[in-house]
Amino acid sequence: MALLSKKDANLIKDPLADNNPITIQVLGICSALAITAELKASVVMAVSVLFVLGMGNVAISLLRNIIPSKIRIIVQLIVVATLVIIVDQVLKAFAYELSKTLSVFVGLIITNCIIMGRFEAFALGNGPWRSFLDGIGNALGYGIILVIVGFFRELLGSGTLFGFPVLGNPIDKTGLYAFGYENNGFMIIPPAALIVVGIIIWVQRSRNKALIEDN
């Protein structure tokens, strides 16, 4: 027996590829450009959004029948803000260095369009279990792009992965560096993330022609 019905499974599967929040809906670009210079930061950001969006979607879904529609945005903001502060405080307590790298971007999860978008588009009209799956699915779709971008940017920009030197030591000239290889400083700066995201979009749409919008 499948754990999830087909309809429920699609809630998680769709945002991973064919309805990805970043590459298809082009939401949440800001943080995708800003914090993906290191893989570690990408993963932490992805997990933070996973927590906020999963919990937030459930909370909004439970409250959906008692929220007056006129003030629903404010209620949504309160829910997000609460969750984001929890994430921020946890990071500051247990991973202080990392929270400094992420700086304002943890706080700015509040403004991440994906979160408010899912609250508005899904959680306000669906039950808690389906909302939870939708939140997890979208956060994973967001996270997977972050990790892919972070992987290439850290590997090509710093020659490391999760901080471990995988291409050799650039100062002692070991590994690849012995052959004259050098880190690509362009990958460290945010415009490179834009280009990497663009290439992902390009590859995705050339594999699945149905995604190409005709204008």
Partner 1 sequence: MSDKRLTFKKRLHILKHHYRDKKMAPAFNAIHTFLFSPDDTTHSGAHVRGADDLKRTMNMVIMALIPVLLFSMFNAGYQYYAAIDVANNVSREFSLWESFLTWDNFWIGIIKVLPLVVVSYGVGLLVEFIFAIIKGHEVEEGYLVTGMLVPLIVPIDTPLWMLAVAVVFGVVIGKEVFGGTGMNILNPALTIRAFLFFAYPTWMSGDKVWVYQAVERTGTPDAISGETVLGALAQNHLAELNYSISDMFFGFIPGSVGETSTFLILLGGLFLIYTKIASWRIMVSAVIGSLVMGYIFNMVVDLGVISEASNFYGLMSFEYWKHLLVGGLAFGIVYMATDPVTGSQTNKGKWIYGFFIGFMSVMIRVFNPAYPEGVFLAILLMNVFAPTIDHYVVKANINKRLKRFKNATILPKDSDSRAEELKAETI
Q: Is 202 in the site for partner 1 (CB under 8 A)?
A: yes
Would you say 4 or 178 has its CB closer to partner 1? 178
Decide if residue 39 touches partner 1 (CB under 8 A).
no
Q: Which of 26, 71, 78, 186 binds partner 1 (CB under 8 A)?
A: 186
- Give least dist CB 165 to partner 1, A: 19
Q: Which of 4, 121, 195, 203 binds partner 1 (CB under 8 A)?
A: 195
**CA gap 90, 127 in Å, rounded:** 29
The answer to whether the CB of 87 falls within 8 A of the CB of 106 is: yes
Contacts of 100 (CB under 8 A, 6+ apart): none
Q: Is the Cβ of residue 68 or residue 180 nearer to partner 1 in the bound state?
A: 180
Encode burial over 192-205: b for 16+ CB neighbours within 10 A, e otherwise: bbeebbeebbeebe
User: Would you call 140 exposed, middle or buried from its count of C-beta atoms within 10 A (0-12, 13-18, 19+)?
Assistant: buried
Q: Is 178 in the site for partner 1 (CB under 8 A)?
A: no
* Cα dihedral across residues 24, 143, 135, 60: positive or negative: negative
213 binds partner 1 (CB under 8 A): no
Interface with partner 1 includes 184 (CB under 8 A)? yes
Structure tokens at 184: 């690509």
Select from 196, 206, 151 the least CA-distant residue to 22: 196
| 185 binding partner 1? (CB under 8 A) | yes
Q: How far is the CB of 38 from partner 1 (least distance, A)?
A: 18
Contact between 169 and partner 1 (CB under 8 A)?
no
Only segment of 46-54, 87-95, 133-141, 187-195 that touches partner 1 (CB under 8 A):
187-195
Tell me: does residue 182 bind partner 1 (CB under 8 A): yes
Q: Is 149 in the site for partner 1 (CB under 8 A)?
A: no
The answer to whether the beta carbons of residues 66 and 167 sit under 8 Å apart is no
Question: What residues make contact with partner 1 under the rule CB under 8 A?
Answer: 180-182, 184-187, 189, 195, 198, 202
